[in-house]
Amino acid sequence: MHTQRQRQRIAQLFGLLLSFAPLTMTAQVVQDPPFGRPDAVVDLASHEGVQLVKGQWRYHDVQIVDAESRSVGPDLRPSGSQTIKTYDYSPHAGPADFDDSQWEAIDATSLDQRRSTAKVCFNWYRINVTVPEKIGNFSTAGSTVGTARCPASLASLAGRSSRDLTLPTE
């Protein structure tokens, strides 16, 4: 059985833990993009949108490959003395200047078509865009370009690719 002193300590500890609860129970808030409402939107999942930005969607599977690295060092980075086996992926297609010209060219309206093989799989979707001088009646000169992704069936779009090209209101 707990003594009175033990019960007091447990109650104090519980009270202390509860005092920290508001710090750990904050929720993430999803907000609109910081640039506000767009003046123009280009749908990059349409033939017209892709033509407008002189783009071409490209697709490529990602391969998981064996790789070597250094073990964890005292600085908690891969600076240790041992060589260890790990994994990497290929190709590293993140940089804007990556040459994807040999990749499969795909139709903009087929972006939601399943191309992966299931289980453990990753893939790249890329498009290079040229912002046109006008989108409809809107002049793009001096505008800020933002991107948005539509989640339906496009969850695997790479961060540097986007489904929509959005030009925001100043």
The answer, yes or no, to whether residue 39 has pLDDT greater than 90, is no
More confident residue, 154 or 74: 74
Using CB atoms within 10 Å of the CB of residue 124, give its burial: 0 to 12 exposed, 13 to 18 middle, 19+ buried: buried
What was the pLDDT predicted at 14? 62
Whole-structure pTM over 0.75, yes or no?
no
Spatial separation of the C-alpha atoms in residues 88 and 86, rounded to whole Å: 7
The answer, yes or no, to whether residue 166 has pLDDT greater than 60, is no
The answer, yes or no, to whether residue 159 has pLDDT greater than 60, is no
Tokens coding 9: 């300590």
Spatial separation of the C-alpha atoms in residues 152 and 31, rounded to whole Å: 19
Our count of domains for the chain comes to 1
Tell me the sheet residues that pair with 41: 166
**β-strand 104-106 against 57-70: which pairing, if any?**
antiparallel
The per-residue pLDDT of the chain, averaged, comes to 79
Contact (CB, 8 A) for 40 and 135: yes
What was the pLDDT predicted at 162? 40
**For 93-134, what is each residue's pLDDT tens digit?**
988 889 999 999 999 999 988 888 778 888 999 998 999 999
Using CA atoms, how far residue 74 sits from 71, 77, 81, 82, in Å, is 10, 7, 10, 13
Contacts of 43 by beta carbon, 8 Å cutoff, 6+ apart:
49, 163, 164
Spatial separation of the C-alpha atoms in residues 127 and 55, rounded to whole Å: 6
More confident residue, 87 or 19: 87
Q: How confident is the model at residue 146 (pLDDT cuts 50, 70, 90)?
A: confident
Contact (CB, 8 A) for 149 and 162: yes
Structural domain that includes position 97? 4-168
The pair phi, psi for residue 96, each rounded to 5°, is -60, -30
More confident residue, 52 or 153: 52
